[in-house]
Amino acid sequence: MVLYVAASRDRSERYWNSLAQSASSRFDFPLWRHYCDELHAQWLHQRLPPSRVHKALKTDLFDEACGEGLAECLLALTLPGGECHGFDVSSVIVERAAMRHPRLRTHCCDVRRLPFAENQFDLVISNSTLDHFHRKHDLLTSLKQLHRVITPGGLLAITLDNSHHPLLALRNGFCGPFMGGGVVLPYFVGHTMGLRELSKELRALGFEVLTCGHLMHAPRLVALHLSRLLPSQGAAARWFLRVLLALESLAMLPTAPITGHFVAVVARKLPDPSAAGN
């Protein structure tokens, strides 16, 4: 799910361009991608208000370049005649996503230095984009950029790797040198936050946290590789998807902070108090 390392944009773009060009077979899991898309689409449907928006933005296009992603979900959340934008730091990924989803307005840019004007988007969806940096500073810079481009009253729906998940903590603590070398860790992942820390940082920026929780309670590593053994369509595929999605009921248990692969927050940008008197 995404696409940034703590380096210059040029270095980041070269890294992800190279990955997209040379390692597409590592991401060729159509049944797993269908599950991830459906999981996030259901989360958005359950957590976002029913009203549609004029202008929406998705913060990376990796899923849309490899499969369906959330493009159709984003379009469904936008009013007729509205605008759906998406960006990625990789020009290769942007090109592939644009070919798959011509109704998306695509951009090649770095989330830490967005080219958009202030107060542009009524909705920003950022699913596991900002957890691919070496440094916390870059994650916080990216959050500031997203806050800047969201309209007052606009929404941010964001997920990050859950730092309290035992396997993720083990991965980040001991597997750094091996990331990007195989199917298990095919790309770099980096600094992330738990739910409490993410909520705190969002509030400090001027967001109101509307909902928060944990997402993807299926055993990710096992399910991902099991999906490779099943056909992408048919009765077995439908059964597999139902089982994985049913495991989201674990989000209601006290153990959710250690079973959820992602932390998931929907927040609203509060009006700027200093602008009230202008």
pLDDT tens digits along 141-189:
999 999 999 999 999 999 999 988 887 767 665 554 444 444 445 555 6
Q: Which two tokens stand for residue 56?
A: 């929406």
Q: Check residue 181 and give its pLDDT.
A: 47
Per-residue pLDDT, averaged over 215-242, amounts to 91
Q: Are strands 262-269 and 150-161 parallel, antiparallel or unpaired?
A: antiparallel
Tell me the domain boundaries of the chain. Answer: 9-271
Q: Are strands 121-127 and 150-161 parallel, antiparallel or unpaired?
A: parallel
* pLDDT above 70 for 25: no
Q: Which CATH number does the domain 9-271 belong to among 3.10.310.30, 3.40.190.10, 3.40.50.150, 3.90.25.10?
A: 3.40.50.150
Q: Which two tokens stand for residue 15?
A: 């890294």
Q: Check residue 118 and give its pLDDT.
A: 97
- Laid out side by side, the sheet with 53-58 consists of 105-108, 78-88, 53-58, 121-127, 150-161, 262-269, 207-215
Most distant CA pair in the chain, distance: 62
